[in-house]
Chain A
Amino acid sequence: MTARIGVITFPGSLDDRDAQRAIRLAGGEPVALWHGSHDLEGVDALVLPGGFSYGDYLRAGAIAALAPIMAEVKDAAAKGMPILGICNGFQMLVEAHLLPGGLIRNAHQQFIRRDQRLRVENNDTAWTSDFATGQEIIIPLKNADGGYIASESELDRLEGEGLVAFRYLGVNPNGSLRDIAGITNEHGNVVGLMPHPEHAVEPGFGPDTPAATRSGVDGLPFFTAAIAAVVGAAA
């Protein structure tokens, strides 16, 4: 079977087409979905893409988290469907209470864009199983509201249960507590992160690596992992 992975477009989504392209390059079939619908069109997995849905009004991701299709997204999450929230999609997942914590304005108040080094802290999720735990990767980061926060007790719980999926290495680009770049839910099917794996999937268009300019493809394993997860589940 070919894995069908839905990418939901919201008003103000920017990286939906890039996510579709990443899915295609990883060997899956991207399915464009619309925020105003109640139909997931039978997809096997979902990506909530980056951008500035509703202009980040109220709070980043807050209004998108109330979109009609989010009812189906919540049902699918509860049933174990792999769901990845990238940047604005991560903000939607925390606003929809599918992941804990919150994301606030970067501590330095600036929009930031850089090729970001990360450490994979948990490879036991639908989106990280093609990495090794402890593996270092580089993918682009670009956000204004990327500061991950939660209460001390919640942060301790996340660390204790291994729910921190990615941590910033070298530079903490936005003031995220405990350098958290991404987290997973307890079941490992819902993962959110601020950096953008979909922008590091094709040589010539990714971040710089020591080997060559723009050659980084560390984002591709996110999508191959999810495809393997849904194909494996169907077999």
Chain B
Amino acid sequence: MPTIVVDVMPKAELLDPQGKAVTGALSRLGVDAFSAVRIGKRFELTVEGEVDDEVLATARKVADEILSNSVIEDVVGIEVVE
């Protein structure tokens, strides 16, 4: 069954407290390969049947209006996976 994957991230210019906490934990563990960690959300929308333009448009609308809040987040990806 096809799935539409929506990725949402906190806006780049805003503090991401969760990411900052993980960055701090990695640093304490001596993992120094990564200078920063940011944490976002992945939504998987299951579609019964075919993903046509109408379904994709609905996914985009839902992603922009409900799954994300444009004041604090950006929709960074909408992708169809089988």
- Which chain A residues have a beta carbon within 8 Å of chain B's beta carbons? 58-59, 62, 66, 94-95, 100-102, 104-109, 147, 149-151, 175
Contact = CB atoms under 8 A, between A and B. Distances in A.
B69 A102 contact: yes
B14 A149 contact: yes
Contacts of A106: 17
Contacts of B15: 104, 107, 147, 175
Interface string B39-82: 00000000000000000000000000011010110000000000
Size bracket, chain B contacts = 10 to 19
Interface of B: 10, 14-15, 17-18, 21, 66-67, 69, 71-72
Contact of B69 (A62, A105, A151, A175): A62
A79 to B, nearest CB: 24
Nearest to A152: B13
What does DSSP make chain A's interface, helix, strand, loop or mixed? loop
Given A58-B67, A66-B66, A105 B18 contact: yes
Nearest to B65: A66
Contacts of B69: 59, 62, 95, 102
A62 B15 CA distance: 20
The 5 closest A-B pairs by CB, nearest first: A102-B71, A102-B72, A105-B17, A109-B17, A109-B21
Contacts of A105: 17-18
A188 B15 CA distance: 30
Contacts of A150: 71
